[in-house]
């Protein structure tokens, strides 16, 4: 989703909603990047979005939660105005499970039918799908700070039967390859060892960024840089960029091409706060400036699909959104 403004942002704009959003496809040919507009979403306040694994459906949060089908202009309303669900599609694209951003409860939506039902009324901190597209794991907050504790459960979204996970099963949530894919998981970086990932569409490769600092403008982390790896399911690993070899203080992985030749991420540089923006950053000397980066894994060549334009944002923060994906050809 690309935000579009009739008049460009200027340096005095801390935040201004776009006039509309466009869903675009970008194509790289002979070193040149071009884009094609697929369709437009109107002038609503846009909070989050996600695509189904089959690239047929998408969900988004505007003034409420919506479900749409690519190529069809009409949205389906999943909730009332002011009721927001942060969602993940099932691996088979049949279901959508969402966390209510107010009370933390979980709800399941059937994609092709007007059916929805509650999975839990309790406050859920994180959740995700198992690869079978039938079971969902989730963590329930059992005690508040400072003794913050989470108990993990698994629930069948069809029968709605649930049970508590064993200690070993709960550990696998934050270590097993299939369960760390952010397309099917809503969790925080610190839950998974301060690492963030983006998986290829066939689940064979992933881009790993470590460490990921959760604090956005930590003054003691201005010079920190993460390492960026390309990993294979069978255990191979390639260090693409060492922390000393790039300028990005924060890296938000987006996607890996099916052939492993390209990786895509949003890089965030710490830049000095301009004088006219000091009122928005009264305690900080630097702020984050974002750009979309495409890297060829064999040569290390860097390309910028948005032609060096900044003002690219990584979506809901945190957890992280994959808002840029490779196509199917």
Smallest CA-to-CA distance from 35 within 258, 305, 302 is with 305
Confidence at residue 214, expressed as pLDDT on a 0 to 100 scale: 47
Q: Do 192 and 318 sit in the same domain of this protein?
A: yes
Confidence at residue 289, expressed as pLDDT on a 0 to 100 scale: 83
Beta strand ranges found along 5-123 (DSSP E):
20-29, 32-41, 48-51, 57-61, 65-69, 76-77, 85-89, 95-100, 106-110, 116-120
Confidence at residue 249, expressed as pLDDT on a 0 to 100 scale: 87
Which of 144, 172, 187 represents a domain boundary (last residue)? 187
Q: Do 217 and 129 sit in the same domain of this protein?
A: no
Confidence at residue 271, expressed as pLDDT on a 0 to 100 scale: 82
Which of 154, 187, 220 represents a domain boundary (last residue)? 187
* Residue 56 domain-assigned (yes or no): no
Domain of 118, CATH number, reads 2.120.10.60
Distance (Å, whole) CA 15 – CA 63:
18
Task: Give how far Cα 143 sits from Cα of 52, 125, 186, 230, 234, Å.
Answer: 34, 12, 20, 37, 38
Distance (Å, whole) CA 74 – CA 65:
14
Terminal Cα-to-Cα distance of the chain (whole angstroms): 19
Contact 156, 135 (CB under 8 A): yes
Backbone angles phi, psi at 146, to 5 degrees: -85, -10
* Residue 182 domain-assigned (yes or no): yes
Q: Do 201 and 328 sit in the same domain of this protein?
A: yes
Task: Tell me the sheet residues that pair with 141.
Answer: 150
Low-confidence spans in the chain with pLDDT less than 70: 1-33, 36-46, 144-146, 214-223, 284, 307-322, 328-329
220: left (phi over 0), alpha (psi -120 to 50) or beta: alpha
* Residue 51 domain-assigned (yes or no): no
Q: Which residues contact 273 (CB under 8 A, 6 or more apart)?
A: 281, 284, 285, 286, 287
Encode 140-182 in three state secondary structure.
EEEECCCCCEEEEEEEECCCCCEEECCHHHHHHHCCCHHHCCH
Which of 187, 207, 233 represents a domain boundary (last residue)? 187
Residue 148: CB atoms within 10 A of its CB come to 10
Q: Which residues contact 129 (CB under 8 A, 6 or more apart)?
A: 88, 90, 91, 97, 135, 136, 137, 184, 185
Q: Do 296 and 179 sit in the same domain of this protein?
A: no
Backbone angles phi, psi at 276, to 5 degrees: -80, -5
Distance (Å, whole) CA 249 – CA 76:
39
Q: What domain range includes position 177?
A: 79-187
Distance (Å, whole) CA 48 – CA 1:
10
* Residue 238 domain-assigned (yes or no): yes
Q: Do 175 and 305 sit in the same domain of this protein?
A: no
> What digits encode the pLDDT tens for the residues 63-104?
889 998 987 878 899 999 889 999 999 999 999 999 999 999
* Residue 153 domain-assigned (yes or no): yes
Backbone angles phi, psi at 247, to 5 degrees: -95, 0
* Residue 224 domain-assigned (yes or no): yes
Distance (Å, whole) CA 175 – CA 151:
17
Distance (Å, whole) CA 90 – CA 184:
7
Q: Do 104 and 170 sit in the same domain of this protein?
A: yes
* Residue 130 domain-assigned (yes or no): yes
Number of domains in the chain: 2
Contact 229, 240 (CB under 8 A): yes
Q: Do 134 and 242 sit in the same domain of this protein?
A: no
Q: Do 101 and 234 sit in the same domain of this protein?
A: no
* Residue 52 domain-assigned (yes or no): no
């Amino acid at each position: 989703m690309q935000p579009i403004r009739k008049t460009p942002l200027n340096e005095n704009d801390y935040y201004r909603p776009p006039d509309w959003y466009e869903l675009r496809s970008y194509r790289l040919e002979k070193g040149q990047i071009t884009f094609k507009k697929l369709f437009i979403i109107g002038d609503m306040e846009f909070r989050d979005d996600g695509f189904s694994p089959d690239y047929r459906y998408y969900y988004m949060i505007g003034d409420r939660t919506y479900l749409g089908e690519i190529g069809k202009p009409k949205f389906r309303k999943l909730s009332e105005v002011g009721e927001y669900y942060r969602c993940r599609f099932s691996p088979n694209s049949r279901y959508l499970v969402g966390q209510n951003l107010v009370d933390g409860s979980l709800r399941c939506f059937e994609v092709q039918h007007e059916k929805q039902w509650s999975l839990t009324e309790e406050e859920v901190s994180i959740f995700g799908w198992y690869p079978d597209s039938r079971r969902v794991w989730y963590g329930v907050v059992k005690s508040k700070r400072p003794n913050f504790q989470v108990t993990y459960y698994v629930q069948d979204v069809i029968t709605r039967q649930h049970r508590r996970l064993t200690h070993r099963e709960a550990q696998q949530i934050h270590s097993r390859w299939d369960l760390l894919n952010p397309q099917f998981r809503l969790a925080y970086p610190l839950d998974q060892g301060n690492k963030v990932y983006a998986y290829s569409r066939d689940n064979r490769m992933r881009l790993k960024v470590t460490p990921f600092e959760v604090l956005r403008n930590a003054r003691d982390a201005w010079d920190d840089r993460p390492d960026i790896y390309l990993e294979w399911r069978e255990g191979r690993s390639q260090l693409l960029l060492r922390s000393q070899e790039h300028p990005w203080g924060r890296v938000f992985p987006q996607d890996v091409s099916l052939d492993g030749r390209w990786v895509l991420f949003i890089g965030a540089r710490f830049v000095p706060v301009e004088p006219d923006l000091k009122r928005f950053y009264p305690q900080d000397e630097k702020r984050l400036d974002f750009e979309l980066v495409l890297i060829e894994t064999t040569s290390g060549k860097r390309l910028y699909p948005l032609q060096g334009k900044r003002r690219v944002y990584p979506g809901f923060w945190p957890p992280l959104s994959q808002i840029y994906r490779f196509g199917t050809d």
